[in-house]
Amino acid sequence: MRAAAALAVLLVLATGCSTGTPRNSAGQITVAATTDAFSIKVGDCVGKLDGDSAERLPLTPCDQAHFWEAYASSTLDGTDFPGTSQVNELSDKACSAAYEDFIGKAPDDSKYEVTYLNPTKESWTQAKDREVVCLVGSSSGNITGSLKGTAK
């Protein structure tokens, strides 16, 4: 997958870490806000991802400049944490499988980058986190609107 990278989801033990994500009746972000990785939904647009922490992620309405768009999510199986490399491999596989249906072009032929939010050993064990959220976009930003069906 072109420029694939993983952003490990760091466990946030406190519940309700979201700042109250402002959404309209269709579930779309209406104003910029900050939330945790557990609150990101498919269709959300995200600002610049800093570091390897996903405790505070910048959400942006998709009609405003952003870096990433959540295009798919997947749930990993198992009771025991399979290891970071296996989680990354499974996350990459899940995100690759959903990419062409969303963008309209194979990942290797696309100009966009992919990253994902995935469980860490701590979140797997302590929060029963099994979700992978796939993000498409550009690490340099300047994306406006959804990338769905762009075939680029």
Residue spans of the domains in the chain: they are 5-10+28-137
Which long-range contacts link 42-46 to residues 24+ away (Cβ below 8 Å)? 42/70, 42/71, 42/72, 42/73, 42/133, 43/69, 43/70, 43/146, 44/69, 44/70, 45/69, 45/70, 45/143, 45/146, 46/70, 46/135, 46/137
Q: What is residue 24's predicted lDDT score, i.e. its pLDDT?
A: 87
One digit per residue, the tens of pLDDT, for the chain of length 152 reads 544 444 444 333 223 334 467 888 888 899 999 888 889 999 999 999 876 666 789 999 999 999 999 999 999 999 999 999 999 999 999 999 999 999 999 999 999 999 999 999 999 998 899 999 999 999 999 999 999 999 99
User: In the numeric block, which tokens belong to residue 64?
Assistant: 């405003």
Q: What is residue 53's predicted lDDT score, i.e. its pLDDT?
A: 61
Please name the residue that has the structure tokens 């996903």: 54
Q: What is residue 20's predicted lDDT score, i.e. its pLDDT?
A: 62
Q: To 5 degrees, how large is the angle CA 76–CA 90–CA 58?
A: 80
CB 136 within 8 A of CB 102: yes
Q: What is residue 12's predicted lDDT score, i.e. its pLDDT?
A: 32
- 38 — phi, psi (to 5°)? -70, -15
